[in-house]
Amino acid sequence: MEDWAEAGVACVGLGLPNFYGDRMLVCRTAFVLLLALSSSAPVIAQTVKLGELNSYKVFPAFLEPYRKGMELALDEVNAAGGVLGRKLEIVSRDDGGTPGDAVRVAEELVSRERVAMLMGTFPSNVGLAIADFAKQRKIPFLAAEPLTDKIVWESGNKYTYRLRASTFMQTAMLVPEAAKLGKKRWAIVYPNYEYGQSATAAFKKQMNLLQGGGLEFIELAVPLGKIDPGPVVQALQDAKPDAIFSSLFGADLARFVREGQLRGLFKDKPVFNLLGGEPEYLDPLKDEAPVGWYVTGYPWYAIDTPEHRKFRDAYQARFNDYPRLGSVVGYSTVIAAAAAIKKAGSTDPEKIVAALSGLQFATPFGAVTFRAIDHQSTMGAYVGRTALKDGKGIMVDWRYADGADYLPSDADVRKMRPQ
């Protein structure tokens, strides 16, 4: 009788009489009706959640377009029916640009939000921290932007895959032109954290292999986001290099370019700069953009392939703005995640990880594959030289360098990557 006494109390909340005896049938009937109504109500399928974390406040120039690219891809995936018969949802968090904050945010996404997989991150040190977290928690992690080679090689693991062309790959795209110049004394300037260190190591190694001995490298590391351009440019001038290799980007690159041009550092001196042709970093310079630099980048205004036209037109129609490279990366990350879940036929982490291996998916740059040997994608980059047109920087003499052509052999990967 105790259960029905509780039911009698509940009847008060329903505006029904609270008494026992034969008329208790009123309460019982009411609850049967409520159960019937609840069982016949339409069931709203839960979404499939992707946990995304990034350094939005620290690197807005790249990551605001990246966020828009994600939104465009999400709309397209859901308009086509979502995944596994459910809508796809992105649960996004700012990781503060630090490994500690990123791990805390990742734990929240996994434990509280119950996401099917993690994706994103920008700085290489943050990407490495989340890769290790993914390994410990056994959850798939799609590293969208971190360029360090370690994330798929020395520190590679079962659960981590990387989208963008790495420092090794993008350096390999530039080195053949650098070696042709026959310069012996190179100054290298780079941001002093994992990405810059990785790019510097890759450039020195590949130049020594391609050009041979007799090379001299003068290295100058600067704090990320805090370059003091005057002393940096003076130090480079004092070093009297034959050529310069840089992996600076963002505000550091802009300050370096302005000060270097003011002091004549770049006159009659070849300059190679990873990422220097990306509109995120080239556009803010306007008519101060360097001329003749060898760069990797994204000439969005000139790429006329069917895949890119479709993406560019949809992006401009949605946001009334032109795409940046971040837009392509954000878009492709979501497309890749959706393709992996569809292939897996499940949100089970182990099945998604297995599906990512060898996965082929569409991007604005064409079809891309995640290699099974090291989990690196074959996404390439555009390589060319900088120029000025109508008062702003552009890329000229560019070509698309397919990432598959700039990756180490399986045998070399096995030497670098934990087995």
Domains of the chain: 2-37 (no CATH), 47-166+304-380+409-416 (3.40.50.2300), 168-300+382-401 (3.40.50.2300)
Give the rounded percent of residues in the chain with a pLDDT score beyond 70: 89
Give the per-residue pLDDT at 45. Answer: 65
Q: Is 323 exposed, middle or buried (0-12, 13-18, 19+ CB in 10 A)?
A: buried
State pTM to two decimals. Answer: 0.88
- Residue 212, pLDDT score: 83
State how far the Cα of 156 lies from the Cα of 161, in Å rounded to an integer. 9
Cα gap 33→36, rounded to integer Å:
5
Q: Residue 77 has what pLDDT?
A: 98
- Under DSSP, the state recorded for 150 is G
Segment 199-214 shows an average pLDDT of: 94
Give the Cα-Cα-Cα angle 274, 275, 280 (nearest 5 degrees): 160
> Under a CB-based contact definition with an 8 Å cutoff, are residues 382 and 299 in contact?
yes
Q: Answer whether residue 38 shows pLDDT above 80.
A: no
For residue 231, how many other CB atoms are within 10 A of its CB?
Answer: 12
**Mean pLDDT over each residue of the chain, to the nearest integer:** 91
* C-alpha Rg value of the chain to the nearest Å: 27
